[in-house]
Structure 1
Amino acid sequence: MKTTSSYLKPIFSPTVILIGVIIIAGLSQGLLLPVLSIFMEQRGVSSSVNGLHAAALYVGSFAMSLVAERLLRRTGFKKLLLSGVVLVMVALPLFPLVADVRIWLVLRILVGIGDSAIHFTSQLWMLLLSPPEKRGRNISLYGMSYGLGFSIGPLGIRLLSYGHAIPFVILSVLFLVMVVLVVVYLPNRSPESMDSKEQAGAPRQVLHIYRLAWFALIPALLYGYMEASMNSNFPIYGLRSGLSSEDISSLLPFFGIGGLLLQLPLGLLSDRFGRKKVLMTAGLTGGLLFMAVPLAGNDFVAILLLFMGAGGLVGSFFSLGLAYAADLLPRHLLPVANVIASFHFNFGSIAGPNLGGMAMQWGAAPLLFVFLGAAYVLFSLLGFAFRGNMTKKVQM
């Protein structure tokens, strides 16, 4: 006789559960940064301190990435993923319960650790399971899942009128649902490429990875820089440019919506024409659109269109960069390459809010988007100097 769990098992497949976790992770990320930035701006905290504070989340993520590979090798995917989900679930509802920004700093670090565990396990799992001819499509689906949550997240700002705790409690409940599904339905496994012999030569592996795929690892840094800057600095930029908090909460999702619309098409194009060409073209065009944002002033529609265009072009940078690295590297190097990509993402995420905050405080607000756009244009130009060779893989 079949149990209820047996009937639900086909519905809650590992793929469905992982997609659900990534959507909610994106939801929390898309909400937390702008909400806390608005809270601190309303308290009169300077933009540079606000940016430094926001970077704490990525300090936690960076710290986790230092040990993520070893933890995954010991615990497997399921336990590490579950640990990350539980940590974020517990930390989120504590934000509205305390007013001390020093405690917020600690909580942001804890959320960063949990987010890093979630992303590291899910990204690596998908890369190792995807055949080369479908890698762009599959990694784009992953990016679309995160982008969906990330786009919806800022809309939670509107829930603040019902109480500052409401959006945080809702997120924690969603994470609790995912904890139950992960425990009941998600199988545990470890990547076959992680063994003690391969771990011994880690320093040489890092140098080898950079030699083969340095260009493919830059998109992770740019994506972290962009994501953190948009969520932490743009609410401040918007308020100082004459936009209301409602305008800001409405505009930020369109950046993610653009990414959702173009994630899969860009992934498919990269499968057909090559990931390097797609990354260079998207980076150059997206960078120019970022530079055009200050020209729009506080025109809501103009900023919306620019956000959709730029977000659509660079919103898949992290996932396409990982897919390109997987094309260039032997399979046994992918776990270490994923750690390097996490380092780059976290470094960019830490640098983004600080550079943007300092630019707005000591320079001019438009420099936020000038710096951001210039970074993507420079990346595209560096592509002409990179000569990457595709590596033949032995399928698992």
Structure 2
Amino acid sequence: MNNTEAPAGSRLGLAAIFGSTFFALVGYFILTPLLLLRLKGADVSSTVAGLFVATGWLGIFVMTPFASTVTNRMGRRQCMWLASAVLMLCALLFTLTQQLVLWFALNLLSGIAMSLRWVLAEALIAEFCPPQKRGRYVGLFQTLVSATFIIGPTLLVWLGPQSSITLWAVNGLNLLGLLWTALIPPVPSAADAGIAHVGVRGLWHALMEHPIIMLAGFVGGFFETGVTSILPLYGLALGLSGAAAAVMVSISGLGGVALTIPAGYISDRFINQARGRRTLMVWSASIMLLATLALPWVAHTPALAWPIVFVWGGAGGVLYSMSMTDIGAREKGITLVNSTAVLVLTYTLGGLVASGVSGALIDWSPTLGFPALLVLVAAIGLVALVRSHRN
């Protein structure tokens, strides 16, 4: 196989990963706002609800450093099966218990399984797709992910947050995700399996190789998923209904759907694709900062929240997809898993910081403290990307 060809079984592999990810994430984006709304209905504070969301991100953060170690021992396909099965089990147990402590524990376990599945899905997409079309395939995958931001909360509104069948629908979607995962074809052994560093040492090497890309991952995770996960709480603080607050997550996903595929196609058309990806990342960070600067006016004009959330989802999605495309163009095998794990780790850290801190800031100062944090993160990301792009 030459360096312009995809590996054998790549079409089936791509279809299986796309399909399993779609069903798993639709279930996730029904479940997360549903549990948040039920916590708020039980008079749980926004601070505790924000910590509940952060617990899932903590699970991802804790597991990600060990993803390459587990993968090296079990194999990439087997790890995907295990992670999907654990996610299905957690969704079932959420259905069967109402204990808050158990919900926190299940959310942590779900995060651990999601971490393993996330790293492997991203790495396998990068390996299965044709190298000359990597940008568009990664963009298509990220668009599918963004679409689940829309479909999940929309289904939640349609099924009803108080309906007894909603959690069972989540279970069905997780089962479909597991079945699609079983279609992943055998993955060729990684050429660097015996020589690549794994665990913390491998992650440190990957971080030193791609520091600015990893910072972009943090900013993307902060806005695209971390802030998005807390949007139902922000919507309620603005006086929106529970259904309207949940739909804010869909608007964020719509931004990713609208912008990520075009960004992928454009990145493939640059003569110097690496520089083209950095250019698109700078523009995304710039738009994200401009939108965030308008946030203090949302309290007086709630309709302004919709375009701001749209930009957050779109710009965050482009930052992450360009980062993943850049890593996929440079790495293979276990080294690719390491680099993907670091990107997921920094993206997760962004989500963890956003969801863990934003709930308290919304309680304390939704019109000043919350916007100030978002502006600071967007500005740091933009400055770092501009400086890197000029070098």
Normalising by the residue count of structure 1, what TM-score does the alignment of the two structures yield? Answer: 0.86
Relative to 1, partners in 2 of residues 1:63 and 1:14: Cα closer, same or farther, differing over 3 Å? Answer: same
In the alignment, which residue of structure 1 is the partner of 2:50?
A: 51
Identity %: 21
Alignment of 1:246-257 (within 5 A): 246-257=243-254
The Cα offsets for residues 41-74 of structure 1, whole Å up to 9 and x where unpaired, read as: 2222222222112111112112321321122222
**Shift of residue 206 of structure 1?**
4.3
Secondary structure, in 3 states, of the residue corresponding to 1:381?
helix
In the alignment, which residue of structure 2 is the partner of 1:311?
A: 313
Q: Would you say the 8 A contact 2:285–2:382 is kept in 1?
A: yes
> Aligned to 1:337, which of 321, 336, 339?
339
Q: Would you say the 8 A contact 2:135–2:267 is kept in 1?
A: yes
**Shift of residue 213 of structure 1?**
1.6
In the alignment, which residue of structure 2 is the partner of 1:189?
A: 187
Q: Would you say the 8 A contact 2:217–2:320 is kept in 1?
A: yes
Relative to 1, partners in 2 of residues 1:259 and 1:193: Cα closer, same or farther, differing over 3 Å? Answer: same
In the alignment, the residues of structure 2 paired with residue 88 and residue 31 of structure 1 have an alpha-carbon distance, to the nearest angstrom, of 14
Q: Would you say the 8 A contact 1:25–1:146 is kept in 2?
A: no
The Cα offsets for residues 53-112 of structure 1, whole Å up to 9 and x where unpaired, read as: 211111211232132112222222221111111111111132243221111001101211
In the alignment, the residues of structure 2 paired with residue 200 and residue 237 of structure 1 have an alpha-carbon distance, to the nearest angstrom, of 40
In the alignment, which residue of structure 2 is the partner of 1:386?
A: 388
**1:267 and 2:269 equivalent?**
no
Secondary structure, in 3 states, of the residue corresponding to 2:190?
coil
Name the stretch that deviates more: 75-84 or 307-316: 307-316
**Shift of residue 201 of structure 1?**
9.9
In the alignment, the residues of structure 2 paired with residue 266 and residue 293 of structure 1 have an alpha-carbon distance, to the nearest angstrom, of 25
Q: Would you say the 8 A contact 1:221–1:348 is kept in 2?
A: yes
In the alignment, the residues of structure 2 paired with residue 323 and residue 122 of structure 1 have an alpha-carbon distance, to the nearest angstrom, of 13
Q: Would you say the 8 A contact 1:57–1:111 is kept in 2?
A: yes
Secondary structure, in 3 states, of the residue corresponding to 1:283?
helix
**1:290 and 2:288 equivalent?**
no
In the alignment, the residues of structure 2 paired with residue 18 and residue 283 of structure 1 have an alpha-carbon distance, to the nearest angstrom, of 29
Name the stretch that deviates more: 102-111 or 266-275: 266-275
Q: Which amino acid aligns with 2:233?
A: I
In the alignment, which residue of structure 1 is the partner of 2:59?
A: 60
**1:119 and 2:121 equivalent?**
no
**Shift of residue 298 of structure 1?**
6.8
Relative to 1, partners in 2 of residues 1:315 and 1:367: Cα closer, same or farther, differing over 3 Å? Answer: farther
In the alignment, which residue of structure 2 is the partner of 1:20?
A: 19
In the alignment, the residues of structure 1 paired with residue 47 and residue 96 of structure 2 have an alpha-carbon distance, to the nearest angstrom, of 25
Q: Would you say the 8 A contact 1:219–1:321 is kept in 2?
A: yes
**Shift of residue 277 of structure 1?**
0.8
In the alignment, the residues of structure 2 paired with residue 34 and residue 254 of structure 1 have an alpha-carbon distance, to the nearest angstrom, of 14
In the alignment, which residue of structure 2 is the partner of 1:3?
A: none
Q: Would you say the 8 A contact 1:85–1:179 is kept in 2?
A: yes
Q: Which amino acid aligns with 2:119?
A: F
| Residue segments in structure 2 that go unaligned for 5+ positions in a row | 1-8, 271-275
In the alignment, which residue of structure 1 is the partner of 2:96?
A: 97
In the alignment, which residue of structure 1 is the partner of 2:197?
A: 199
Relative to 1, partners in 2 of residues 1:382 and 1:94: Cα closer, same or farther, differing over 3 Å? Answer: same
Q: Would you say the 8 A contact 1:233–1:357 is kept in 2?
A: yes
Normalising by the residue count of structure 2, what TM-score does the alignment of the two structures yield? Answer: 0.87
Q: Would you say the 8 A contact 1:26–1:146 is kept in 2?
A: yes
Query: Aligned-residue CA RMSD in angstroms?
Result: 2.7
In the alignment, which residue of structure 1 is the partner of 2:323?
A: 321
The Cα offsets for residues 316-350 of structure 1, whole Å up to 9 and x where unpaired, read as: 32221122234456776322111211221222222
In the alignment, the residues of structure 1 paired with residue 199 and residue 234 of structure 2 have an alpha-carbon distance, to the nearest angstrom, of 46
In the alignment, the residues of structure 2 paired with residue 155 and residue 377 of structure 1 have an alpha-carbon distance, to the nearest angstrom, of 32
Q: Which amino acid aligns with 1:344?
A: T
Alignment of 1:139-150 (within 5 A): 139-150=138-149
The Cα offsets for residues 258-283 of structure 1, whole Å up to 9 and x where unpaired, read as: 11011111112223341111001111
Name the stretch that deviates more: 12-21 or 105-114: 12-21
In the alignment, the residues of structure 2 paired with residue 229 and residue 365 of structure 1 have an alpha-carbon distance, to the nearest angstrom, of 18
In the alignment, the residues of structure 2 paired with residue 388 and residue 189 of structure 1 have an alpha-carbon distance, to the nearest angstrom, of 39
**Shift of residue 365 of structure 1?**
4.2
In the alignment, which residue of structure 2 is the partner of 1:224?
A: 221
In the alignment, the residues of structure 1 paired with residue 192 and residue 268 of structure 2 have an alpha-carbon distance, to the nearest angstrom, of 27
The Cα offsets for residues 114-168 of structure 1, whole Å up to 9 and x where unpaired, read as: 2112211110012223454322111111101111112211123325647444222
Q: Would you say the 8 A contact 2:90–2:110 is kept in 1?
A: yes
Q: Would you say the 8 A contact 1:62–1:343 is kept in 2?
A: yes
